[in-house]
Structure 1
Amino acid sequence: MNYILFDDSQIRNQLKPFTFIRPVADIRCGTLTIREKWEYQFSSKISCLTENYLAEKNTFDDSVKIYINGAVCPNKTIIEAILQLNEDESLVAGNDTLAIKTSKTLSFPIDYDAFNQQHFIGEITIIKQLPDIFLKNGEQIKADFQVITKDRKSQEINDPFTRIYAPENIFVEEGASIKAVIFNAENGPIYIGKNAVIQEGSLVIGPFSAGEGCIVAWGSKMRPNTTLGPFCRAGGEVGSSVFFGYSNKAHDGFLGGSVIGEWCNLGANCNNSNLKNDYTEVKLYNYATNQLEKTGELFCGLFMGDYTKAGISTMFNTGTVVGVSANVYGAGFQDKHIPSFTWGGADTEYVNYRFDKAIQVINATMQRRDKQLTEAEIAVLKHVHDLKQQ
């Protein structure tokens, strides 16, 4: 059986800036990305159907294929419902198409009306709006913890100065370093990835996940429902936030109710607001409508696209959206929406970030991890850059 995770065009637009450079299924919520969750379930690599400029080079024969909405997180009930579909049937919940079984090779965007609908009844976790990524992160850390640690034994924590509450809810991978830390997993699991480092004086409260090669800096306060993707570094106070991977917030400062893409950097003493002073619901820039839209949420922080950097002491207002490869700095609160490839800040004029300069800075950043942009990645970034100019 070929399993393919497809992008819904409306959801895809609503999840920008993160979907500018990735399919929806490569968004991280919990310890794993959505694609990784499905790969665990089916024990196989899974491809994605998305916009042409991001399209993977896949070839499919005429055998039956199961297309699954890339915004849907797996659970036992929905997997059973998907596997019970007959050919040319779709599984729907409300206005959302969850899955399709067909021998046809579909293209983006999918014509949902071509299939006979079967209605799904049961609980479902679907990432449809930006706040969903951090709002559903705690429950997904718990779900991923069960999948990743099943029938496996955690490495022991032997440091005599580390204090552990609910050790049965803590899993430590090989090579991790933990010294003089307080772990409290009474209200949710704590997952520490391979070769991660939790430095002295850190406080970590579950649900929490630190991926492979992460560093939690000295004296940090990692609050519940927080994920650090692989090779991230986090310091200061972080709560209810998701770092996709390879991003740094190495110094003091508060980050809450936020989502940070890959290869981002928050300078020393960067802070964000995640609650308005008048306690009213937060409005958030929506790429689908090109305007601020109500979120229905009181707590909502910063959404920072990939390859973006913020200078020291940068302040982000409640519900701020920053695009891909921006360079933001300056005193005072930044604009609520900062487009991709923008250079500037609150006390200076925002100007266009030259594409060649942006690529140079990205490569310099990646070189510190012995990586470089591929030609395909540069082409994707060029597409995003040119979209801004239209």
Structure 2
Amino acid sequence: MNIILFEDLDFRNHLKPLTLTRPIGMLRVGILTIKEKWENRLNLSVSLDTEEYLQTKYPLILKEENVFINSSFLPTPALIDLIKNLKPGQVIASGLEIVAYISDARKSAQELGKAPEIIELEPEDTFSIKHLPDLFLNNGSQIEADFKLITAGRTSQEITDPYTKVYSQENIFLEEGVNIKAAVINAEEGPVYIGKDAVIQEGAVIIGPVSIGPEAKVAYGAKIRQNTTLGPVCRVGGEVGNTIFHAYTNKAHDGFLGNSYIGEWCNLGANTNASNLKNDYSEVKLYDYHTDGMTPTGETFCGTFMGDYSKAGISTMFNTGSVVGVSCNVFGAGFQSKLIRSFTWGGAAEGYEPYRFEKAIEVINATMSRRKIELSEEDLLILSHINEQKITNEV
């Protein structure tokens, strides 16, 4: 099978700003990205059908016969079984949404509506990422599912530090090179996965389900609560819960972050705090790029969603249900605006202004050089496209 993850345009817009710099299939939820989940479960390479400006970095591989899978849907045993037995002319659907089909080219919903046989995916077998809160809402269960997949038939490295306290050691898995000192790891309510060469510093408390990615670091005294993912090479301290850090992002100091998603190459300064609960306990509204307005989430707890390459200065405060675009530099006293568009510089008290593109790229290059990585030409073109959209106030 040639597997292609395609995107529903509405879902793609709902998931901005995280999807401004990547296809839906590259979002991380649980331990793995959506693309990695499908590749691991099908034991096949997967390509992505996404926006044209992203295709240089994420090329589409099209063959005479392809299995198109909606990238918003997460793999489940039942869905995988249906896909493996899918035949040309059949369509897997979830209500009115197309989940998978076989074709020589991408088909519209109208074209697929003429299919001779619709196979309905049962609700209990449906896990999908269609709106921003779906990421943290599914993170705990996806950590558990990915944990079973990654660790099956393998033996964890031992925890040798005599001053580290462990609960339910059978639910803890360490890859090679993990360094733990005087920490508390509690996996009674869910697994804890710690990737290759990760570091857990003194006094850290980790309560599963939690995933710590390869070369990530949990700072001393950190409190990592349930349903939290630290992607590869992240540095995280303070108190964090029900939150995903995509990769290469720092929150090295104290401060609270909950029910949130922080993109790649971000930095949250010391004592940055993000509210995830309104003081009247009412439903949180969140800016939606698709509707271009504040939209009810249906959730009481909802924090901050930050696009790639954005930074927050020391003691920055984010409101409940905040959206920060790509490559923003936010600082200053008081709560920040609930929507900060891409390439913005400043703060609510001082005022916001456009972030000069050349200066933004200079800062990104300086940030990446600390990890001996360079901004690729493909990423520069993506950022240039986003900046051009910013001029029309779209991102």
TM-score band, normalised by the shorter chain? over 0.9
Choose which of 238, 251, 254 in structure 2 pairs with 1:252: 254
Q: Residue in 2 aligned with 1:332?
A: 334
Q: Residue in 1 aligned with 2:68?
A: 67
Choose which of 374, 382, 385 in structure 2 pairs with 1:383: 385
Q: Assess, with a 3 A threshold, how the Cα gap between structure 1 residues 282 and 137 changes in structure 2: closer, same or farther.
A: same
- In 1, are the aligned partners of 2:48 and 2:59 still within 8 Å (CA)? no
- Once the two structures are superposed, residues 35-76 of structure 1 have per-residue CA deviations (whole angstroms, 9 ceiling, x without a partner) of 0000101222210001111113344331x2101111111111
Q: Residue in 1 aligned with 2:101?
A: 100
The two structures have a TM-score, normalised by structure 2, of 0.96
Superposition map of 1:180-219 within 5 A: 180-219=182-221
Superposition map of 1:196-345 within 5 A: 196-345=198-347
Q: Residue in 1 aligned with 2:46?
A: 46
- In 1, are the aligned partners of 2:49 and 2:60 still within 8 Å (CA)? no
Q: Secondary structure at the match of 2:87?
A: coil
Q: Distance in 1 between matches of 2:186 and 2:293?
A: 41
Q: Distance in 1 between matches of 2:28 and 2:258?
A: 17
Q: Distance in 1 between matches of 2:229 and 2:274?
A: 17
Q: Which amino acid aligns with 1:125?
A: F
Q: Secondary structure at the match of 1:36?
A: helix
Q: Residue in 2 aligned with 1:85?
A: 86
- In 1, are the aligned partners of 2:67 and 2:102 still within 8 Å (CA)? yes
Q: Secondary structure at the match of 1:143?
A: helix
Q: Which amino acid aligns with 2:361?
A: I
Q: Residue in 2 aligned with 1:112?
A: 109
Superposition map of 1:86-165 within 5 A: 86-102=87-103, 104-106=104-106, 110-115=107-112, 116=115, 117-121=118-122, 122-165=124-167
CA RMSD, 1 decimal: 0.9
- In 1, are the aligned partners of 2:47 and 2:59 still within 8 Å (CA)? no
- In 1, are the aligned partners of 2:194 and 2:213 still within 8 Å (CA)? yes
Q: Distance in 1 between matches of 2:90 and 2:282?
A: 43
Q: Distance in 2 between matches of 1:351 and 1:271?
A: 22
Runs of 4+ in structure 1 deviating by more than 6 angstroms, as ranges, are: none
Q: Secondary structure at the match of 1:12?
A: helix
Q: Which amino acid aligns with 1:133?
A: L
Q: Which amino acid aligns with 1:161?
A: Y
Q: Secondary structure at the match of 1:60?
A: coil
Q: Which amino acid aligns with 1:9?
A: L
Q: Secondary structure at the match of 1:126?
A: coil
Q: Residue in 1 aligned with 2:2?
A: 2
- Once the two structures are superposed, residues 300-342 of structure 1 have per-residue CA deviations (whole angstroms, 9 ceiling, x without a partner) of 0000110000000000000000000000000100000000000
Q: Tell me by how many angstroms 1:78 deviates.
A: 0.5
- In 1, are the aligned partners of 2:136 and 2:243 still within 8 Å (CA)? yes
In structure 2, stretches of 5+ residues that fail to align are none
Q: Secondary structure at the match of 1:387?
A: helix
Q: Secondary structure at the match of 1:125?
A: coil
Q: Which amino acid aligns with 2:314?
A: I
Q: Which amino acid aligns with 1:385?
A: N
Q: Could you tell me the percent identity over the aligned residues?
A: 54
- Once the two structures are superposed, residues 320-378 of structure 1 have per-residue CA deviations (whole angstroms, 9 ceiling, x without a partner) of 00000000000100000000000010211100011111111001000011111111110
- Once the two structures are superposed, residues 194-235 of structure 1 have per-residue CA deviations (whole angstroms, 9 ceiling, x without a partner) of 000000000000000000000000000000000000000000
Q: Distance in 2 between matches of 1:130 and 1:87?
A: 33
The two structures have a TM-score, normalised by structure 1, of 0.97
Q: Residue in 1 aligned with 2:16?
A: 16
Q: Secondary structure at the match of 1:72?
A: coil
Q: Tell me by how many angstroms 1:118 deviates.
A: 2.3
Q: Residue in 2 aligned with 1:35?
A: 35
Q: Tell me by how many angstroms 1:147 deviates.
A: 0.4
How many equivalent pairs are there? 385
- Once the two structures are superposed, residues 5-25 of structure 1 have per-residue CA deviations (whole angstroms, 9 ceiling, x without a partner) of 111111000000000010001
Q: Secondary structure at the match of 1:187?
A: coil
- In 1, are the aligned partners of 2:4 and 2:61 still within 8 Å (CA)? no
Q: Distance in 2 between matches of 1:327 and 1:88?
A: 50
